[in-house]
Chain A
Amino acid sequence: MTTGVTTRGGRQRLTPAAVLHDSRVLAARQLRKTLRRPTYIVFSFIQPVIFVLLFRYIFGGAIDTGATSYVNFLMPGIIVQTAIFGALVTGLGLTEDLGSGVVDRLRSLPMARSAVLLGRTAADLVMNVFTLTVMIAVGLLVGFRPTEPAWRLGAAFLLVLAFSYVFSWISAWIGLTVRNPETAQSAGFIWVFPLTFASSAFVPVETMPGPVRTFAEHNPVTLVVDTVRGLTIGAPDPAGPAVQAVAWLGALLLVFVPIAVRAFRRA
């Protein structure tokens, strides 16, 4: 009666096509829910825009970025930060669904359980595409001038999205582990500030004291930001950081996807 089921080892299982189908249904559900909260959307756009304006016009004059203008230096950093912030809603949303009983309902249906996480992270990724597009437009308005060819800009955008996707899974794991929306809110944000500020996102790492600088240089945020800078404004050379950034993303996914799925099974 139901499609997408095969029998293997005496047990009925869902096919990969069924997993994909269920994920799409749940991603559509999430996007539709978000679109029904226009004030939420407006504020999620306003916050990054305010960050751009604050850094560009308040800190900008005091930060020396050498030959590169501060707005060109800043935009790759703030885009990456926004991508991370945008991913933090994943965990928060999951704790809400746990609390309302929706997750129990979904888990009692003959659907793929992994689709709850796959659908949710996909929907958050789509929302991030919109947020980042708005940010880039604001960046261009306040003087951001990418110099590189279109394919490099496209590659930079894809890298940022991949980064945001990875952070959705980290956020999902945190949310499913703490389970409570308020705790998820603060637990989800605390670690993000040191991670983004102790990086090359807003200031050159060369100005940081010894241990912080060492941390910042190996911080995946720095590696992604440096790659994006290389791909948009031509400096530094993106090849080195790109390899390391992609390695980080792969490693983080390998760790956080399984533990988030396990936390979901237990939640």
Chain B
Amino acid sequence: MYTYTESPPCPVEAEGLTVTYGKITALDGLSLRIEAGTVVGLLGPNGAGKTTLVKVLSTLLRPTRGTARIMGHDVVRDPLPVRLAIGLAGQYAAVDQELTGRENLEMVGRLYRLPRAEARRRAAEVLERLSLTDAADRRVAGYSGGMRRRLDLAASLTGRPPVLLLDEPTTGLDPRSRQELWAIVDELRDAGTTVLLTTQYLEEADRLAQRIVVVDAGTVIAEGTPSALKAGIGTDILRVRLPGPAGLPAAAELLTDLAATGTEVVTDRVTGELTVRVSRPDASVEALRRLDRQGVDVTAVQLTQPSLDDVFLSLTGRTAVLEEAR
């Protein structure tokens, strides 16, 4: 029996999810809603609870408290339709080394209980989509790291799920493979797939997600569009490069009062670079004018929007974990 509701079910919703392992609290009352057809980036340092959330949403882990629904189905009470609706690609390439790419995918198709011919057709389709057709009949043991991740993603697409859960899909990938994966996520979103993607890479969330949810210590500490999050900080960053370190103290002195409230001019003697957080819109023009008037040589001036690194820093007062992840 199927009851039709007024509006289509929300692809992903979580309310007050709490997961504790003994004394450790991995999720602490986390709530989340994802609109259909969007990519949401779940951003946070190691240990923030990102993987735990993905495990709960993919029915691998029962929450201690709280509820989660995928396409309206409760992950604990009715896991089977949840599993039909999701595709999961984790931090590891969960594929069999001894089998070929095609065999791996046909097996996944068969586990959706697709008829043999259909499983074969789907495997060929996703291999094509992820540019793995040429390698399809080679054993996975000979694949590169990037190819394995793509095959893993291919496996998660075999069931044509409306909801895709990607847990740090690009961790450990080289820049080119990462870009390829990003392009695939864009395509999937364009095709209407709802994607929850966890990442430690701020750049990645910025690049892929329409909405970013920042998590720390198992709970949501901020969310919004990438630009709204950046705007929340309210300051831009002005970088001034001098030919050498000699002029730095004088230049810093000149720009001190441009620094936003509570911030200071930061100088780097190695690069001869000076960084100031500024809130005035005319900050770069004003800085150049002052330096020029005092005869300070300037190599380059750059005004940038704050990065998501800056967002995270201003939200948590920490950045070290993210630096390490880079």
B-contacting residues, A13-52, CB 8 Å: 13-14, 18, 21-22, 25-26, 29, 32-33, 36-37
A29 B96 Cβ-Cβ under 8 A: yes
B59 A107 Cβ-Cβ under 8 A: yes
Residues of A with C-beta under 8 A to B58: 104, 108
A104 B94 Cβ-Cβ under 8 A: yes
Is B98 located at the chain interface by the 8 A CB criterion? yes
A33 B94 Cβ-Cβ under 8 A: no
- CB < 8 Å: which of A26, A100, A110 contacts B94? A100
Residue of A nearest to B55 (CB): A104
Would you call the interface of chain A mostly helix, strand, loop, or mixed? Answer: mixed
Residue picked from A10, A18, A101, A109, most chain B C-beta under 10 Å: A109
Residues of A with C-beta under 8 A to B107: 25, 29
| A interface residues, how many (CB within 8 angstroms) | 32
- A29→B97 CA distance, assembly (Å): 12
Is A111 located at the chain interface by the 8 A CB criterion? yes
A104 B88 Cβ-Cβ under 8 A: yes
A18 B113 Cβ-Cβ under 8 A: yes
- A32→B59 CA distance, assembly (Å): 28
Q: Which of A1-9, A127-135, A213-221 contacts B (4 or more CB under 8 A)?
A: A1-9
Residue of B nearest to A115 (CB): B111
As a 0/1 sequence over residues 94 to 138 of chain A, the CB contacts with chain B under 8 angstroms (1 = contact) are 000000111011111111000000000000000000000000000
Contact count band on B: 20 to 34
- CB < 8 Å: which of A12, A26, A101, A109 contacts B90? A101
Residue of A nearest to B78 (CB): A11
- CB < 8 Å: which of A10, A13, A14, A33 contacts B96? A33
- CB < 8 Å: which of A12, A18, A100, A104 contacts B60? A104
A110 B98 Cβ-Cβ under 8 A: no
Is B283 located at the chain interface by the 8 A CB criterion? no
Is B211 located at the chain interface by the 8 A CB criterion? no
Residues of B with C-beta under 8 A to A1: 84
Residues of A with C-beta under 8 A to B59: 107-108
Using A4-B113, A21-B113, A101-B93 as known contacts, say yes or no to A110 and B77 having CB atoms under 8 A apart: no
Is B108 located at the chain interface by the 8 A CB criterion? yes
Residue picked from B91, B95, B98, most chain A C-beta under 10 Å: B98
Residues of B with C-beta under 8 A to A12: 78, 80-81
B111 A22 Cβ-Cβ under 8 A: yes
Would you call the interface of chain B mostly helix, strand, loop, or mixed? Answer: loop
- A2→B159 CA distance, assembly (Å): 10
Residue of A nearest to B103 (CB): A32
- A10→B74 CA distance, assembly (Å): 12
Residue of B nearest to A33 (CB): B98
Is B155 located at the chain interface by the 8 A CB criterion? yes
B83 A110 Cβ-Cβ under 8 A: yes
Using A21-B113, A36-B139 as known contacts, say yes or no to A108 and B83 having CB atoms under 8 A apart: yes
A106 B90 Cβ-Cβ under 8 A: no
- A156→B8 CA distance, assembly (Å): 60
As a 0/1 sequence over residues 138 to 151 of chain A, the CB contacts with chain B under 8 angstroms (1 = contact) are 00000000000000
- CB < 8 Å: which of B81, B103, B155 contacts A105? B155
B99 A32 Cβ-Cβ under 8 A: yes
Residue of A nearest to B80 (CB): A12
A-contacting residues, B104-142, CB 8 Å: 107-108, 110-113, 139
Residues of B with C-beta under 8 A to A105: 88, 90, 94, 108, 152, 155
Using A11-B77, A101-B94 as known contacts, say yes or no to A106 and B111 having CB atoms under 8 A apart: yes
How close is A130's CB to chain B, nearest CB, in angstroms? 18
- A110→B88 CA distance, assembly (Å): 12
Residues of A with C-beta under 8 A to B93: 101
As a 0/1 sequence over residues 68 to 87 of chain B, the CB contacts with chain A under 8 angstroms (1 = contact) are 00000000011011011010
- CB < 8 Å: which of A3, A11, A101, A107 contacts B113? A3
Residue of A nearest to B88 (CB): A108
Residues of B with C-beta under 8 A to A109: 83, 108, 111-112, 159
Closest 8 CB pairs of A and B: A101-B94, A101-B92, A105-B94, A110-B83, A36-B98, A108-B88, A12-B80, A111-B111
11 new A-B contacts at CB < 8 Å, known A29-B99, A32-B98, A100-B94: A2-B112, A3-B113, A4-B113, A5-B80, A11-B78, A22-B113, A25-B111, A104-B55, A104-B94, A105-B108, A108-B88
